[in-house]
Every structure is written in C-alpha cells, then in structure tokens.
Amino acid sequence: MSEIRDLRVLITGASSGIGKALAFEFANKGAKLAITSRSFGSLRKVADELEDTFPGIQAPLAVACDVANREKVNQLIKRCEDQLGGIDILINNAGTGVYGYSEMTALEDFRSVMEVNFFGAVHCILRVLPLLKKNGSGLIVNISSVAAMYGVPYLGAYSASKAALVALGQSLRAELAGSGVSIMNVYPGYTQTGFFEKEKNVGGAHRPPGPYVSPQRVAKTIVRAIKKEKQELILSLGGKMLALSRSFLPWLVIRVMKRIANKLRNKKEEFNE
C-alpha cells in the first residue's frame, strides 16, 4: 500500500489513544475515514477535531459500535458500504484490559477481555473479509501487544486475548495468499494512553512507572509500516529483544519474567488462599 490517499480506512477504538492518533495520521495522508468506538460523544469530538485540523478532508464517518456485539458490527460495516462505498483497510484496534494476579481474575473478566480484544476483531474480520476479497485487495491490521509474544506477569487474560488475535492473523495470512488481501500484526509496547485508567485492576500488582511512548509516535510508525507492506511490526526495543531471546535464550526470558513479577508485586498486598 504505497499510496494511502483516498483509501477507505475503518479504525475501531478511534475515540482515544492509539486509534485516535491513527485517525489523525491517516487523515494527514488523505485517507477517507470511518471511526468507531462505544461512545458516540467522544467519536464526534474526534471527527470535529479531524475536520478542523485537516480542512477539505471528506467528513469522517463516526459510528458508535460495541465490537463485542456482532449485530452492531454488521450494522457498522453496512454503514461503511453505504456511505464510503466499501473498506480498503480495517484496523482492529479496540481493546480493553485486566491487570493483576491471573488467579484473582474472575472468569467473567477473562471472558469480557476475550469478547472485545479477540471476538471484537473476529466480528469485524468475518464481515469485512468478503468485501476485500471481492475487490482483490485490502489490508487487515490487528493491534495486538508485546504481551502477546510471551505471557507477561499480571496480564494473563490480556496476553491470552492478544495472542489469540495474533494466531488468527497468522492463519489468515497463509490462507489468503494470492487473494490480494494482506494481514499485518502489530505489537505495541507501553504507550501513554488512557488505557490504564480504564482497565480493571483485580489486585496484587502495579504497572511499571514508564516512560511510555506517545500514541502519535506509535501511529506514525504503523502507517509507515503499512506503506512498506510490513506484515509483522514490533514497536518497542523491549519487544524486539523479547522476540530474539524467546527463540535463542528461552531460559533468560523465564528468569526475566520472574524478576518482573517480583518487582511489580504489591508487597503489602500478598494474598493468602
């Protein structure tokens, strides 16, 4: 995809953070946007900001949609077909988190993270893929996480949901060879967004203090990688080191993960069962 101009791009979870930054990056490159999240008010604000920043762009299509709801996703894609004439790039970015001891994570929290991070993307992919295949071109970008590359302490449910998304992307990529449709899996590291205020903390541990990278920088790198037709994009140095050591120094990864678990454990909050 060397040229982004006039491509129709649907971004889920575009009301804040990485999704919002991606919307600005794509608008800057002249794409036609459809943006979605559950809160229509926040989306409307993003759409207005986009139009103020880039006068002359086609007004972004803003549609409220919970990606965990398959029927709502079907309605969203129908709106994209009716109002944009289709979709060229789908960005599965909507996501949510649970943080803390995996064994303290309730079953419904495991399920709700899967419903958004994995099934939300599945709903979008199953509905958009036939359109892309019919066109003989298109791209699906899955915003996963470094936490998908290896089970990270206190992120059991989240890591599992993001790893599931990666695996689906890899399966699809091979199945779609020759169809003109590509899949890109993206693995961001810690990014400074509102994600951590919204996630559910089930207790026992705290997040590392940072510094975290800006969502604007993440979005720029993703769009650059789309133009270069990359299929796998690891965004942090820690992620790149993890990818290497996972294959060549697996014992080291185990040791480092144990050290991280110990460092982030809330010492006063030991739980006894």
Ligand X SMILES: NC(=O)c1ccc[n+]([C@@H]2O[C@H](COP(=O)([O-])OP(=O)(O)OC[C@H]3O[C@@H](n4cnc5c(N)ncnc54)[C@H](OP(=O)(O)O)[C@@H]3O)[C@@H](O)[C@H]2O)c1
Q: Which residues are catalytic?
A: 158
Round to whole Å and give the CA distance between 198 and 16: 12
Residue with smaller CB distance to ligand X, 138 or 188:
188
**DSSP labels, 85-129:** SS-SEEEE-----EEE-GGGS-HHHHHHHIIIIIIIHHHHHHHHH
Least CB distance to ligand X at residue 217 (A): 12
Residue carrying the six token digits 């359109």: 131
Q: Which of 34, 87, 89, 94 binds ligand X (CB under 6 A)?
A: 94
Whether 91 and 11 have beta carbons less than 8 Å apart is answered as: yes
Range 64-83, binding ligand X (CB under 6 A) = 66-68
Residue with smaller CB distance to ligand X, 198 or 259:
198
The half-sphere exposure of 192 on its side-chain side, counting CA atoms within 13 A, is: 8
Q: Which of 38, 220, 230, 240 binds ligand X (CB under 6 A)?
A: 38
> With binding defined as CB under 6 A, does residue 134 bind ligand X?
no
Round to whole Å and give the CA distance between 239 and 112: 26
> With binding defined as CB under 6 A, does residue 18 bind ligand X?
yes
> With binding defined as CB under 6 A, does residue 114 bind ligand X?
no
Strand positions, DSSP E, the chain: 8-12, 32-37, 61-64, 89-92, 98-100, 138-143, 181-187, 200-203, 232-234
Nearest residue to 196 via CA among 270, 266, 97, 263: 97
> With binding defined as CB under 6 A, does residue 142 bind ligand X?
no
Range 179-218, binding ligand X (CB under 6 A) = 188, 190-191, 193-195, 198, 215
Least CB distance to ligand X at residue 179 (A): 26
Least CB distance to ligand X at residue 139 (A): 17
> With binding defined as CB under 6 A, does residue 150 bind ligand X?
no
Round to whole Å and give the CA distance between 101 and 205: 7
CA 222, chain centre distance (Å):
11
Least CB distance to ligand X at residue 262 (A): 21
Residue with smaller CB distance to ligand X, 145 or 185:
145
Least CB distance to ligand X at residue 39 (A): 3
> With binding defined as CB under 6 A, does residue 39 bind ligand X?
yes
Q: Mask of contacts with ligand X, 215-244, x by CB under 6 A?
A: x-----------------------------
Helices 70-84/121-135 angle, 10° precision:
30
Least CB distance to ligand X at residue 120 (A): 6
Tokens of 98: 């649970």
What is the contact surface with ligand X in residues (CB under 6 A)? 12-19, 37-39, 42, 66-68, 93-96, 116, 120, 143, 145, 188, 190-191, 193-195, 198, 215
